[in-house]
Amino acid sequence: MANCAAIKQSIRIEDVIGRVVPLKRHGHWYVGRCPFHDDRHPSLVVWPKTGTWKCMTCSPVRDDVIGFVVRWKHCSTPDALRWLEQEHPEMSIAPRTKPASGETPLAALPDRDATYQALLGQWGLTAPHRIALRARGLSERAIDKAGFASVIPGIAPITPVSAGVPGFARRGSRWRIVGPAGIAIPVRDVHGQIQAIHVRADDASRGKYRWLSTPAPTYVGGAASGAPVHVVRGVDDVVWITEGPLKAIVAQARLGHTVLGVPGAGAWTPVLDILAVVQPQRVILAFDRDPNPETAAKVAQHVGRLTDAIRNAGWPLMRACWDGPKGLDDALVAGARITWDPAGGSVT
């Protein structure tokens, strides 16, 4: 049985991450767009020599290939090890014998949901943030239904139900909220439970969208958020897939159908499990129309993999098209005519 050192020697980390993120070589390292946040400028760095990676925007410390798979697939360490073993059958990978120093397991989903529900209720939504959401095309009813709140970093107004809730960190006897001030976007699973909190930051200098995430060893008592897919339930006969939780909320309010918001074009793997629960009659892909040809080409690679996966799973699939606005949400708000596939249909 191989140990963690053997993993780094036997698996090329750039090959694993390269399946998720198109990487470009720069000297002794690679760079790419981080799949864990809305990364418009490549901020993910991969160092083959040390077998490590780090996002310069959303990752406080370097991590190894196991940590990447954990965050990418939003799974446990044993599940990540099993996945690596399946993808690399020439290896027999031993689980870590004990958690890393200071590591706290991710809290169970019911604990995260209960904690976040209480936290959002304590925060409420400020008038400026409500106005900003109205400007995105959301009605008061849609805003209240989504459960938005205004993030207040600092001393937490509540105690988490358990340790391991992303965004919470303990300092002495007090819990704190670590993250940017901004609009808290509850990211829900297929059953409506809050898995994580995505934040539209007031100060976008470190990225417009970030996660409430407090991984060890930098933070005590918290956990990494991962990059879960946001599910906005509606009429389930058609499922739309777009990029970003907030875009999914705006799109669902306009379409009425269920909309999935993947956190990044490369972070789509949970989609297949969600479709298995929802059982739609048709799936429509509606990713951004990026004006940058290089970025558009990279996104197209990810969308191509998602397309193959959905079709291989047997779901009828179409792609949405529109003129004008970049994103599906803005196109719907602007009243653009949206078509899907040459002989599909259209919605205005």
Q: What is the pLDDT of residues 249-291, one digit of tens each?
A: 999 999 999 999 998 887 888 899 899 999 999 999 999 988 7
Q: Which range is least confidently modeled, 39-43, 113-117, 245-249, 311-315?
A: 39-43
Helix (H) or strand (E) holding 233: none
What pLDDT is attached to residue 9?
A: 59
238 is written with which tokens? 């058609």
Angstrom distance (rounded) from CA 238 to CA 312: 18
Q: Which CATH architecture has domain 4-87?
A: Alpha-Beta Complex (3.90)
pLDDT band at 345 (very low <50, low <70, confident <90, very high): very low
Q: Which CATH architecture has domain 230-347?
A: 3-Layer(aba) Sandwich (3.40)
Average pLDDT rounded to a whole number, residues 138-158: 97
Q: What is the pLDDT of residues 175-233, one digit of tens each?
A: 999 999 999 999 999 999 999 999 999 998 878 999 999 987 778 998 888 889 999 99
Q: What is the pLDDT of residues 7-22, one digit of tens each?
A: 555 678 888 898 888 8
- Flag whether the pTM goes above 0.75: no
What pLDDT is attached to residue 6?
A: 53
- Give start-end residues of each CATH 3.90.580.10 domain in the chain: 4-87
114 is written with which tokens? 């209960």
Check if CATH label 3.90.980.10 holds for domain 109-211.
yes
Angstrom distance (rounded) from CA 157 to CA 272: 37
Q: What is the pLDDT of residues 24-63, one digit of tens each?
A: 888 778 888 888 887 777 889 998 888 889 888 777 778 8
**Helix pair 271-278, 293-312: axis angle to 10 deg:** 50
Which range of 1-5, 172-176, 339-343 scores highest in mean pLDDT? It is: 172-176
- Give start-end residues of each CATH 3.40.1360.10 domain in the chain: 230-347
Q: Which range is least confidently modeled, 49-53, 98-102, 145-149, 225-229?
A: 98-102
Q: How far is CA 331 from the centre of its chain?
A: 22
Q: What angle do CA 228, 225, 41 make, to 5 degrees?
A: 75
What pLDDT is attached to residue 37?
A: 80
Q: What is the 3-state secondary structure (H, E, C) of 131-176?
A: HHHHHCCCCHHHHHHHCCEEECCEECCCCCCCCCCCCEEEECCEEE
Angstrom distance (rounded) from CA 174 to CA 87: 43
Q: Cβ–Cβ contacts within 10 Å for residue 139, how many?
A: 11
What pLDDT is attached to residue 83?
A: 76
What pLDDT is attached to residue 136?
A: 95
Contact 160, 116 (CB under 8 A): no
Q: What is the pLDDT of residues 121-142, one digit of tens each?
A: 999 999 999 999 999 999 999 9
Angstrom distance (rounded) from CA 260 to CA 241: 5
Percent of the chain with pLDDT over 70: 89
Contact 273, 228 (CB under 8 A): no
162 is written with which tokens? 């358990």
Average pLDDT rounded to a whole number, residues 314-334: 94
| Higher-pLDDT residue of 302, 182 | 182
- Give start-end residues of each CATH 3.90.980.10 domain in the chain: 109-211
